[in-house]
Chains A and B, each alone.
Chain A
């Protein structure tokens, strides 16, 4: 079945099963490996991307559900944020400034989830952050994640 995935501004027409999770279409069909496989059951958030601006866990999202939607992955986050060519999104820069990642594997999903939260709610309360950022990080970067979010919202 032909599915059109519009990813980071480029449309790709793929002949794939409609039930294939978006995660595997991105990784194995389009080679966009910045989006990570963590659990396969939407429990950890490592695979989070934007679908029409909404943070979405792609490991349980069949491609047929996002046919034609605007998908943004970590590879396209900077461009979507309006950053100049070669520059990072403010949230990504905040992540570097606060030296957030450790192993880094969960951070693509973490950044997508945080970016989506801040797009919708630029001044979140701590409770808003707690409720929205349910991504799992085994290295325990959570204190830095919160600090980096605060460095952006305080601006």
Chain B
């Protein structure tokens, strides 16, 4: 990044407004870089009669209810509940009086903690790093972010934001009570949303809120010790679940606006195509069809019912100019990877020691293998959609996204309407996994349904709900990249690597994903860039998905070649990495590694650090009639600290199932410049019947809190592939597994016993 930003000090970061503004006598506790304006903004946006914000994220109402505004979306990962728990713990709130909701898409609720972690140079997720300098200027200016991704809500917003803001709120409430009673704050105690004084006085937070808002938040509130936690570390029921079992939960696709019409697109199959011509005369005579609107790369049919729009769009004959894109195929893309790697002209990623000399050393045993993974679609259960209403120089947007503020900025850009006149109504997300991050310059820069819906809405004099079919969703995603890696090692006489070389395709984020934790003295990790027209974007765990498969499968190859146990071999190479060794040990122990398994069952193991957490997984598999079955996955996770044990375990289960689906079935193939797969019928999903038993164990090492939304995902593909090797002697170097014929040939199973 060319530009440098001044790092805000912790003090600057915590200086709140001098005085809270009375909006009917409630309280907002100000956690503000920018002075009192932020609390005013928050109150204007989300406080009603009698309510006050104590920070931009904490609102207390006169009836003593605390509402926590979480600047992230909850896609089911439990963020809103977990972050509310972190704030409530430090605030000494009575959990039964705590509510939580997603913050409105207003700048007052932008995620400062995240921006500050970025400015402090911490490891932050790819959607931030991908921002170019110009975009960052804007971000730095406005902290215009509500991004949910990179497994960062708990570790950044929660730890650096919610905890501090909760503690500051408690201090302000105590000060207000002490002043009211003419006693010292140190003689007052806050507990269960009540402050108690030395002479038996007591007042609820709701009664104190207006007074408390008069104080600036303390610069460095003291946080509680873990031993005193009563909320964090317990499995509180999630706020979002009741509405998800009775049909009342409203996702983007459920937006209802009076007078609303529906739009279905006819999208160019080949990426990068433009519309040449179309004849809408037949479909315009159909029942309910109102109009057609062209947008870059497609035509939308507007009707009074989505089915009518969809059927008409399917019948619409559009001629596209494919701009030569039709010559691109998976075959040509992978041939391009191989050619680029073969040229030897690569760029440096990470270099340790002198790998070239080690490879050239006399007697070095050199082992080489090439790995490859295909494109992957996200396939969120809720097909992409966006409802936009443009009239009188204003836009209203109903959508479920991983960055409501970013969406607001994007709609403003596309529509030409001023940011202040764009209102985003955040809806629930039917899955995200990285797909629902709005466009970012340089990282996720492809035209999406949000753009199309906005363009269409400008042409239609009514609110329009624009919806992709599942086919549109599968064929017009921003895909996990297809990637290839050529790995090479030089081995010493004991089969341990003296040099590690990796040349891979596409430098992606997070930047450390291709790096290895193993103590190998000479390393040369390099990459090549090969451009093509397939849109790419972040997919759960981003670059870790491919690199963990590559590296952890290759290490397994080396272990077998050395005649070593794959677990012990890794362990030996992880000298000096106690957290890695600990998760490896725990996963191995809980899985019964090395102990006899049921007949036909085999183990594979893998380990990886990502998003601040370290995960080891042991997969127990069998191969029957050439097909793999995964029976059990045992996971050991060091995420530093567990906030909500139940959702933490759920995220690990979820990550494993997401990764396992990709390992077994995931493949987006390009044919004739377009995606060959169409729906769940040919882009297959794991079902309940195939789901393994998943056994999750946490280590709370006390290391800085790590993420949990993603780290379990990348490990499983290598663990399963390594298990397949143990079972069949066949090394899986390309995914998905469904493409491999694993039918045993005579002698192979005997070999598997090596």
Contacts and interface: CB of A to CB of B under 8 A. Distances in A.
A24 B307 contact: yes
28 contacts: A28-B262, A29-B305, A33-B254, A36-B253, A38-B381, A40-B470, A41-B470, A41-B679, A41-B680, A43-B680, A75-B246, A99-B650, A103-B429, A104-B76, A104-B430, A105-B251, A105-B430, A106-B381, A131-B689, A136-B685, A136-B687, A137-B381, A138-B380, A139-B76, A139-B654, A140-B656, A141-B650, A142-B686
B652 to A, nearest CB: 10
Interface residues of B, number: 62
B215 interface: no
Interface of A: 17, 20-21, 23-24, 27-29, 31-41, 43-44, 46, 73-75, 77-78, 88, 92, 95-96, 99-108, 111, 129-131, 133-146
A141 B653 CA distance: 8
B305 A28 contact: yes
B245 A138 contact: no
B256 interface: yes
B394 interface: no
Contact of B246 (A74, A137, A145, A146): A74
Interface stretch (B168-176, B235-243, B276-284, B517-525): B235-243
Contacts, number: 183
Contact of A39 (B75, B237, B679, B689): B679
A77 B379 CA distance: 28
A143 B235 CA distance: 17
Contacts of B432: 103
Nearest to A78: B246
Residue among B381, B470, B471, B685 with the highest chain A CB neighbour number at 10 A: B381
Nearest to B682: A43
Nearest to B540: A138
Contacts of A138: 379-381, 431, 433, 658, 685
A44 to B, nearest CB: 5
A24 to B, nearest CB: 4
A100 to B, nearest CB: 8
A53 to B, nearest CB: 18
Interface in B113-148: none
B428 A140 contact: no
A101 B240 CA distance: 9
B247 A140 contact: no
A90 to B, nearest CB: 12
Interface string B369-392: 000000000011111000000000
Contact of B688 (A34, A88, A133): A133
Residue among A21, A32, A101, A134 with the highest chain B CB neighbour number at 10 A: A101
Contact of B245 (A33, A101, A136, A140): A101
A96 B241 contact: yes
A140 to B, nearest CB: 3
B694 interface: yes
Nearest to B304: A28
